[in-house]
């Protein structure tokens, strides 16, 4: 039996953000992600979902590294730092992923180990499979209340559409 008393904590609205850390469009979307986090605070959970694209050879490792950052408590901070250096990631690959972890005060050795032992591969694979199943074809893509919005082609008006759906769902 569920507790529907006013003291029961409200379950936040989930906004899935399908992202790829070697994607320049996802870097552009960071402003939208920051604005959404500021607007909704703890009323909505922006959940990072991975959709590494085959054309970006370091994207799969970057997704695993983001999961390690999440495990160490700095998931979005790490994502933003890597996306800010997307050109460096193109050139440098995995050493950049460890370097960014070190710069953020994370356990860089643990990052290196995580990339070698593949402890986060299943999470990334599951995200990618779910993304394909619901029709994600590019990044960034948002899913709110079962509605998918693809920002891979154009991000014009995307945040407004996400907010419109989120506001409607939060109003109940």
Average pLDDT over residues 42-71: 95
Average pLDDT over residues 87-110: 95
Confidence (pLDDT) at 10: 61
Share of the chain above pLDDT 70, in %: 92
Kindly tell me if the per-residue pLDDT of 155 is higher than 80.
no
**Beta-carbon count within 10 A of 16 CB:** 20
- Pair 153, 137: CB distance under 8 Å: no
Helices within the chain (DSSP H only): 24-40, 59-71, 75-83, 86-92, 94-103, 108-117, 121-134, 158-171
Give residue 85's Cα distance to chain centre: 16
Going from the C-alpha of 100 to that of each of 7, 35, 86, 119, 157, the distances in angstroms are 41, 23, 12, 19, 31
Tokens of 156: 């014009």
Average pLDDT over residues 123-141: 95
Average pLDDT over residues 149-161: 83
147-150/141-144 β-pairing? antiparallel
Kindly tell me if the per-residue pLDDT of 1 is higher than 70.
no
Kindly tell me if the per-residue pLDDT of 154 is higher than 90.
no
Distant-in-sequence, close-in-space partners of 112: CB < 8 Å, separation ≥ 6: 98
Kindly tell me if the per-residue pLDDT of 151 is higher than 90.
no
- Pair 18, 49: CB distance under 8 Å: yes
pLDDT band for 4, please (50, 70, 90 cuts): very low
Confidence (pLDDT) at 3: 46
């Amino acid at each position: 039996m569920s507790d529907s008393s006013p003291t029961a904590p409200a379950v936040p609205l989930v906004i899935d953000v399908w992202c790829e850390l070697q994607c320049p469009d996802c870097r552009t979307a960071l402003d939208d992600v920051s604005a959404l986090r500021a607007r909704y605070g703890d009323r909505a959970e922006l959940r990072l979902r991975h959709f590494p694209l085959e054309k970006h050879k370091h994207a799969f490792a970057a997704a695993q590294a983001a999961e390690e950052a999440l495990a160490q408590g700095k998931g979005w901070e790490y994502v933003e730092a890597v996306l800010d250096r997307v050109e460096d990631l193109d050139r440098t690959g995995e050493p950049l992923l460890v370097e960014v972890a070190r710069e953020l005060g994370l356990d860089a050795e643990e990052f290196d180990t995580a990339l070698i032992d593949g402890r986060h591969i299943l999470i990334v694979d599951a995200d990618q499979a779910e993304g394909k199943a619901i029709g994600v074809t590019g990044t960034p893509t948002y899913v709110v209340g079962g509605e998918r919005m693809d920002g891979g082609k154009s991000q014009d008006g995307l945040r407004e559409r996400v907010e419109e759906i989120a506001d409607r769902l939060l109003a109940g």
